[in-house]
Chain A
Amino acid sequence: MARLEIESEVTGNVWKVEVQAGARVDAGDVLMILESMKMEIPVEAPEAGRVSELRVAEEDAVEEDQVIAILET
């Protein structure tokens, strides 16, 4: 079992969290949607697995490369 750190690709804020901690996801499932410069940026699961941790909540500010969720695969 591997532990993947999901990082934000942009500086911005969290618009919508689409999964709950503990949820099973498939590769390509949208975990959350970030917002920066009036653009919406979906964060997808790179592999199938279980979201063991959500490190941000809706409306939180995020920095580029900040870890926002942990995926166990």
Chain B
Amino acid sequence: MFSRVFIANRAAVARRVVRACTHLGIESVAAYADIDRAAPHLAEASATARLPGYLAADTYLNGGKLIEMARQTGCDALHPGWGFLAENAAFARGTVEAGLGFIGPDPQWIERLGDKTRSRAVMAEAGFPVHRGSDVLDNLDVAIHAARNTGFPVLLKPVAGGGGIGMIRVDTEAELAGAFATARAQALHAFGDDRVYLETCLPKPRHIEFQVIGDGEMSIGVLERECSVQRRHQKVIEEAPAPGLDRTRLAEIEAAAASGLTGYDSLGTVETLYADGRFGFLEVNTRLQVEHGVTEEITGIDLVEAQIRIAAGAKLADALPCVPEPQGHAVQARIYAEDPRRMLPSTGHLTVYRPPRMTGVRVESGYAEGQWVTPYFDPLLAKVIGTGATREQAIGRTLVAVKAFDIRGLDTNQALLERTLGSEPFIAGRLHTGLLDDLL
């Protein structure tokens, strides 16, 4: 096992990893930018390491500096969290070459699966279902041909992308030239790679993803998560299990996900879109997911601890306490610093910040009262996870907790979460990725 883990991230995930390290009986070193110096996990970690600068590029995206600090602080492993450098193969490789354990997959897996057209080919080869789509679009003529073959509407997507960033919907051939140029420019800006591809744009799909864990020899599925409630392709409410679907079919897709990731050596998530009774591959995330908590709540498995143990060389039989079986239901609501009327980011000073303490409710947050929420980083303030024997109880507990969470000093999306959790289509399980926009 590792003795001291460097955490190259901030906020909720940094705090979550500190907790996992402490529980495993190993030390943690929390890296922080000045803007985060009041973050609560700094007091919970064994030690801290200051990152000079303000911008993400100078701090949590500064791979060379992070690796150097991990070594200087005597760490033998590094956890990348999610976002930032978590799916950057060069960073993972640099970590390993510096003699540190990378708490994630082998860098080769990040490369193979981070390229969206390549990952789709890998999964299709293993028998995983895919929707209609193209390979990399080299020029506009290729794009036009591919769009005609696929059928409008189509979605243009960055090959190096993820998380729904930089996608453009195209309804007609006339719009394609402009959209193709914009998509390439956006892909270059967001991911430093202007290659794009396209996929069929499904009407009202559900977003369902499958948690996989592998030890390099064997990979198994750890159930699915339903993540259809989204805004701008960003997940807002997630739950497990996915409601109203045939469990036999889900188990088949879960097995195909694990089979596609044979030889994989960490936590990974295979995302799918589900429409008209069919699943189709979306992307693989080679990291811990923001919504891992709902899976933990219904299985009793600590995914972060399992991830750390496997990175240290443990096999599945030792890293997992039990065979994953769903028990009860869990719902997660993400509280974002967001103006609820105009849907714009809201920055400011958290003058009051009081998370609820309630039965069946888990709150994951890297913020504390008195901290500033700045435009430099993403707007996620907290995740509220309600667990119950039934879906109804889990929804109720989440709703009550979101309502009771006292946050002042900036705007949040709490009212929208309350409205969604209490809405008829959500309660009835009629979920699709446009549900939240329909409720606005």
Instruction: Please determine whether chains A and B interact with each other in the same assembly.
Output: yes
The answer, among B189, B342, B379, for a CB contact under 8 Å with A37, is B379
B393 adjacent to chain A (CB < 8 Å): no
Q: Check A37/B232 contact, CB under 8 A, given A9-B344, A11-B375.
A: no
The answer, among B189, B344, B378, for a CB contact under 8 Å with A10, is B344
Within 8 Å CB of A39, what residues of B?
Answer: 232, 344-345, 379
B377 with A41: CB separation less than 8 A: no
The smallest beta-carbon distance between A15 and chain B, in angstroms, is: 7
A36 adjacent to chain B (CB < 8 Å): yes
Mark A1-34 against chain B: 1 for CB-CB distance below 8 A, else 0. 0000000011111010000000000000000000
The smallest beta-carbon distance between B215 and chain A, in angstroms, is: 33
Mark B338-355 against chain A: 1 for CB-CB distance below 8 A, else 0. 000010110100000000
Question: Of B337, B344, B379, which is in contact with the most chain A CB atoms at under 10 Å from its CB?
Answer: B344
Q: Check A13/B375 contact, CB under 8 A, given A37-B337, A39-B232.
A: yes
**Residue in chain B with minimal CB distance to A16:** B189
**Residue in chain A with minimal CB distance to B342:** A9
The smallest beta-carbon distance between A46 and chain B, in angstroms, is: 14
The smallest beta-carbon distance between B100 and chain A, in angstroms, is: 27
Within 8 Å CB of B375, what residues of A?
Answer: 10-13, 35-37
Mark A30-63 against chain B: 1 for CB-CB distance below 8 A, else 0. 0000011111010000000000000000000000
Within 8 A of A (CB), among B297-356: 337, 342, 344-345, 347
Q: Check A38/B189 contact, CB under 8 A, given A9-B342, A10-B345, A11-B347.
A: no
Q: Check A41/B189 contact, CB under 8 A, given A10-B375, A11-B375.
A: no
Q: Check A15/B345 contact, CB under 8 A, given A37-B375, A37-B378.
A: no
Q: CA of A35 to CA of B344 in the docked complex: distance in angstroms?
A: 11
* Chain A interface residue count, Cβ-Cβ cutoff 8 angstroms: 13
B347 with A15: CB separation less than 8 A: no
Within 8 Å CB of B189, what residues of A?
Answer: 15
The answer, among A37, A38, A41, for a CB contact under 8 Å with B347, is A37
Within 8 Å CB of B344, what residues of A?
Answer: 9-10, 36, 39, 41
Question: Of B342, B344, B375, B377, which is in contact with the most chain A CB atoms at under 10 Å from its CB?
Answer: B375
Q: CA of A10 to CA of B347 in the docked complex: distance in angstroms?
A: 8
Within 8 Å CB of A41, what residues of B?
Answer: 344-345
The smallest beta-carbon distance between B59 and chain A, in angstroms, is: 14
Q: CA of A34 to CA of B426 in the docked complex: distance in angstroms?
A: 33
Question: Of A35, A37, A41, A64, which is in contact with the most chain B CB atoms at under 10 Å from its CB?
Answer: A37
Q: CA of A15 to CA of B185 in the docked complex: distance in angstroms?
A: 12
Within 8 Å CB of B347, what residues of A?
Answer: 10-11, 36-37, 64
Within 8 Å CB of A9, what residues of B?
Answer: 342, 344
**Residue in chain A with minimal CB distance to B338:** A37
Within 8 Å CB of A11, what residues of B?
Answer: 345, 347, 375
A38 with B378: CB separation less than 8 A: yes
Q: CA of A16 to CA of B345 in the docked complex: distance in angstroms?
A: 18
Q: CA of A36 to CA of B344 in the docked complex: distance in angstroms?
A: 9
Q: CA of A68 to CA of B290 in the docked complex: distance in angstroms?
A: 35
The smallest beta-carbon distance between B173 and chain A, in angstroms, is: 23
**Residue in chain A with minimal CB distance to B378:** A38
Within 8 Å CB of A35, what residues of B?
Answer: 375
Within 8 Å CB of A12, what residues of B?
Answer: 345, 375
Q: CA of A11 to CA of B347 in the docked complex: distance in angstroms?
A: 7
Within 8 Å CB of A36, what residues of B?
Answer: 344-345, 347, 375
**Residue in chain A with minimal CB distance to B56:** A38
Q: CA of A12 to CA of B375 in the docked complex: distance in angstroms?
A: 5
* 8 A–B contacts, CB within 8 A, in A order: A9-B344, A10-B345, A13-B375, A15-B189, A35-B375, A36-B345, A37-B379, A38-B378
Interface residues of B (CB under 8 A from A): 189, 232, 337, 342, 344-345, 347, 375, 377-379
Interface residues of A (CB under 8 A from B): 9-13, 15, 35-39, 41, 64
Beyond known contacts A37-B337, A39-B345, A39-B379: 9 more, CB 8 A cutoff = A9-B342, A10-B344, A11-B347, A12-B375, A15-B189, A36-B344, A37-B378, A38-B379, A64-B347
